[in-house]
Amino acid sequence: MLLNTQALIFVRRRRRWLVVLVAAVCVLTFVFGAWKPAVPPPPDGQAAQPIDWGPSQAKTESPALPELNVGAYVTNIKNIDLLDNQFTIEMLLWTEWSGDLAANPSDELMILNGIYDGDIQRFERVSRENRLEKSWSLYRVRSSVVKHWRFQRYPFNTQILHVNVGLENPLQPVNLGLTQEGGFSINPGLLLSGWSLD
């Protein structure tokens, strides 16, 4: 029993010395680390010379990108699936291309947050016309779309359905935007049981 008591006292004393040693090292590090030699003033009281970075680079402006404006008319929303985090949307989508008619990228549009599985997503061109130096295209689109539902305020929550339309190649030099007149609208006769549209 006496041996165990002496070993315990020795361990406690060793811990005390260890604590004192760590505290001393911290104090010395602070004292010597905070001390920095003063920077000598420039000779003859002159101010420091500015750094010469060389000639400035002229700003280069990229050429104006052709515009591809997109508009949508939602005709139907169905298959709202809260468990699988998805819904299905049907819409008419139109594009106005102001660039070279042969380089019209409208056929490369896709639903970026859509689900691609066989025939689930359909992006079918219905018509293409040239109007006032622009190419106008109309598509019929049906796609299942990923949606992460938020139920923090259930049953009084509000859900915003996002449908992201973009190009297959995101690096394609195109200025993608909304059409000026009626860029987005919903069929006024669209009814969703259990939901209200705003």
Indicate the length of the chain as a whole number. 198
Return the closest-CA partner of residue 142 out of 91, 93, 107. Answer: 91
Return the closest-CA partner of residue 105 out of 167, 170, 171. Answer: 167
pTM listed for this prediction: 0.62
Reported as a single tens digit per residue, the pLDDT across 34-67 is: 555 555 665 665 666 676 666 666 555 556 778 8
Residue 127 contacts by C-beta under 8 Å, 6 or more apart in sequence?
Answer: 137, 138
Q: Give the start-to-end residue ranges of the domains of the chain.
A: 67-186
pLDDT for the residue 93: 92
Task: Look at residue 71 and give its three-state secondary structure.
Answer: strand
Return the closest-CA partner of residue 127 out of 110, 111, 139. Answer: 139
Strand partners, 92: 73, 140
Provide the CATH number for the domain formed by 67-186 in this structure.
2.70.170.10
pLDDT for the residue 188: 85
CA distance 15 to 7: 12
CA distance 107 to 102: 12
Reported as a single tens digit per residue, the pLDDT across 70-83 is: 999 999 988 888 88
Using CA atoms of 115, 66, 129, 114 in order, give the dihedral in degrees to the nearest 10. Answer: 0
Residue 92 CA from chain centroid, whole number: 26
